[in-house]
């Protein structure tokens, strides 16, 4: 799951996130036909933000589901990146070198 954020389908979305080493995730897309009979692709990202080493706290689970938004590695992962930055800010979790190296 760490590889998805660092080297995989969510790589571009989290590329400049200073804490990306502490973020795990999986992207996806699901094809469906809506009520009007149109084909749609729903985008999703599911993952977690790990607390820095030595800090109190538990991992924070993040899930983004965007109906008819295309591929998860693009749209849903971008939303998850923005949300993760806000979580890091609110929690005061500064990225640590140890986490970045994981």
In tens, the pLDDT along 61-101 reads 999 999 999 989 989 999 999 999 999 999 988 665 444 44
Beta-bridge partners for 44: 28, 65
The pLDDT value given to residue 15: 95
CA distance linking residue 60 with residue 93, whole number of Å: 12
DSSP 8-state secondary structure symbol assigned to residue 67? T
Predicted TM-score (pTM) of the model is 0.84
The pLDDT value given to residue 95: 66
The pLDDT value given to residue 55: 82
Per residue in 31-47, pLDDT (tens digit) is: 999 999 999 999 999 99
Asked whether 49 and 84 are in contact (CB, 8 A), the reply is yes
Asked whether 44 and 27 are in contact (CB, 8 A), the reply is yes
Q: In the predicted model, what is the mean pLDDT of residues 49-62?
A: 89
- For 48, the 3-state DSSP assignment is strand
């Amino acid at each position: 799951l760490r590889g998805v954020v660092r080297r995989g389908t969510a790589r571009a979305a989290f590329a400049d996130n200073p804490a990306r080493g502490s973020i795990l995730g999986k992207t996806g897309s699901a094809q469906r036909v809506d009520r009007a009979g149109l084909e749609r692709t729903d985008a999703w990202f599911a993952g977690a933000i790990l607390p820095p080493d030595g800090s109190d706290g538990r991992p924070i689970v993040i899930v983004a589901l965007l109906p008819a938004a295309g591929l998860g590695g693009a749209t849903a992962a971008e939303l998850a990146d923005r949300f993760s930055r806000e979580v890091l800010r609110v929690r005061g979790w500064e990225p640590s070198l140890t986490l970045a190296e994981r």
